[in-house]
Structure 1
């Protein structure tokens, strides 16, 4: 939920600032700024809660904590890449693939009632998926529309 608030809040603020500076609205640019802010916010969570995030990763994947840090770096790189015209479309496609690949970790966390911030098994559980799966689809559509379709 926090990531959605960051995404929408920063996008709206960016849209207003872009309008003030350029005299016109640029929805795609504002949406990319919001997505970049959301990705940096999410990456901070990886650095703040690595133990809980590592618990989300399926058992067959080795070096779980290292993977948490690696995905944080990927999110930061994607945040930057969305703002660079020459690599925006490639970044968008790679980010869509990333969002699809991390969905099993979110499903695992929900099924095991994981609270990644506390690294405990007393989280919201499967009900969380009713929000998380549509949110993941929303992120994918957001990236596609703001970074690929209208590039």
Structure 2
């Protein structure tokens, strides 16, 4: 459960800090920019997990899947690239869309891990973990879509 809190803090910190800074300076907040930065940090965090917790990630995959370690490293690199792209204004929208796609296609591995009580990050709790993981996935997808893909009107985000 601690991992979920860490992910939420990583995701929301840039935007929260931007709001605090803007409040003191009486400036508008570029919600898209800082939301993308938070999502980018989250994807870089996910990438690190693929590198340092490879064995736990491998356990989350069904036995019939070939080249599991290679797949974990490959998907980790994809997450790193998405994370980096979320810091580059030109690539933010595309990166957020790819991020949404990744959240959707990776979710079956989370279901498998929870149903088989394997892996890391809470999956050992069994199916009950999906009651936490599914809302987290929905939050990540909503964050990516509503705060990164859809463009915010900065005029409505001014602090007066």
Q: Same fold (TM over 0.5)?
A: yes
Once residues 74 and 20 of structure 1 are traced to their aligned partners in structure 2, the CA distance between those partners, rounded to angstroms, is 37
1:33-90 Cα shifts (integer Å, max 9, x gaps): 1111111111111111101101112333311111111111111111111222222222
The structural deviation recorded for 1:108 is: 0.7
CA RMSD of aligned residues (A): 2.2
Alignment match, 1:12:
16
Alignment match, 1:127:
128
Once residues 68 and 21 of structure 2 are traced to their aligned partners in structure 1, the CA distance between those partners, rounded to angstroms, is 40
Deviates more, 1:75-84 or 1:7-16: 7-16
Alignment match, 1:148:
149
Count of aligned positions: 147
Alignment match, 2:83:
79
SS of equivalent residue, structure 2 residue 90: coil
The structural deviation recorded for 1:8 is: 2.1
In the alignment, structure 1 residue 45 sits paired with structure 2 residue 45: no
Q: Report runs of 4+ in structure 1 exceeding 3 Å deviation.
A: 14-22
Once residues 6 and 37 of structure 1 are traced to their aligned partners in structure 2, the CA distance between those partners, rounded to angstroms, is 6
Based on CA coordinates, which of the two structures has the bigger radius of gyration?
2
Deviates more, 1:33-42 or 1:21-30: 21-30
The structural deviation recorded for 1:18 is: 6.0
Once residues 26 and 115 of structure 2 are traced to their aligned partners in structure 1, the CA distance between those partners, rounded to angstroms, is 47
- Per the alignment, do residues 18 and 109 of structure 1 end up closer, same or farther by CA in structure 2, a change over 3 Å counting? farther
Segments of 5+ residues of structure 1 without an aligned counterpart are none
**TM-score (norm: length of structure 2):** 0.81
**TM-score (norm: length of structure 1):** 0.85
SS of equivalent residue, structure 1 residue 86: helix
Alignment match, 2:140:
139
1:100-147 Cα shifts (integer Å, max 9, x gaps): 000000011111111426xxxx81111110011111111111111122
Q: Which has the higher contact order (CA 8 A, sep 6+)?
A: 2
Deviates more, 1:98-107 or 1:33-42: 33-42
Q: 2:113 aligns with which of 88, 109, 116?
A: 109
**Aligned 8 A contact 1:19 1:26 in 2:** no
Segments of 5+ residues of structure 2 without an aligned counterpart are 153-160
